[in-house]
Amino acid sequence: MRTIVLVFILAGWFGAASAEDIHLRISPNPAVSKIELSIGNVASGALKIEIYSVLGTLLQTTDYGASAANIIVEMNVSNFPDGIYLVRISQNGNTTVKRLKVQHSE
């Protein structure tokens, strides 16, 4: 029961999705050391990329200057322990959140 409540709390904390939200694809997922973020539906300007633990702790943040509607960003996650993380992309009040699994060994 505790996990379900936590998911609902985090979903509310990160905001609800809308049609204008940024599109995000993470690969590979699960990841071992690096991830590639394919980000679409963005405007030119500042883009914020954040990675959170499932408990809501901010682990990594990157400010990125977007100059095209679709961009690809590589990020290193080799120092993250095995587990589930949340990747949040935001720009001009638009946001999206996707789940990332880091798994260093099978």
CATH number at residue 88: 2.60.40.1930
What is the span of the domain harbouring residue 53? 2-102
Domain count, the chain: 1
Residue 8 pLDDT more than 80? no
SS (H, E, C) the chain: CHHHHHHHHHHHHHCCCCCCCCEEEEECCCECCEEEEEEECCCCEEEEEEEEECCCCEEEEEEEEECCCEEEEEEECCCCCCEEEEEEEEECCEEEEEEEEECCCC
pLDDT, tens digit, 9 for 90 and up, residues 28-38: 999 999 999 99
pTM: 0.78
pLDDT, tens digit, 9 for 90 and up, residues 24-74: 999 999 999 999 999 988 888 889 999 999 999 999 999 988 787 888 999
User: Which is more confidently placed, 76 or 21?
Assistant: 76
Residue 98 pLDDT more than 70? yes
Average pLDDT (98-104) is: 95
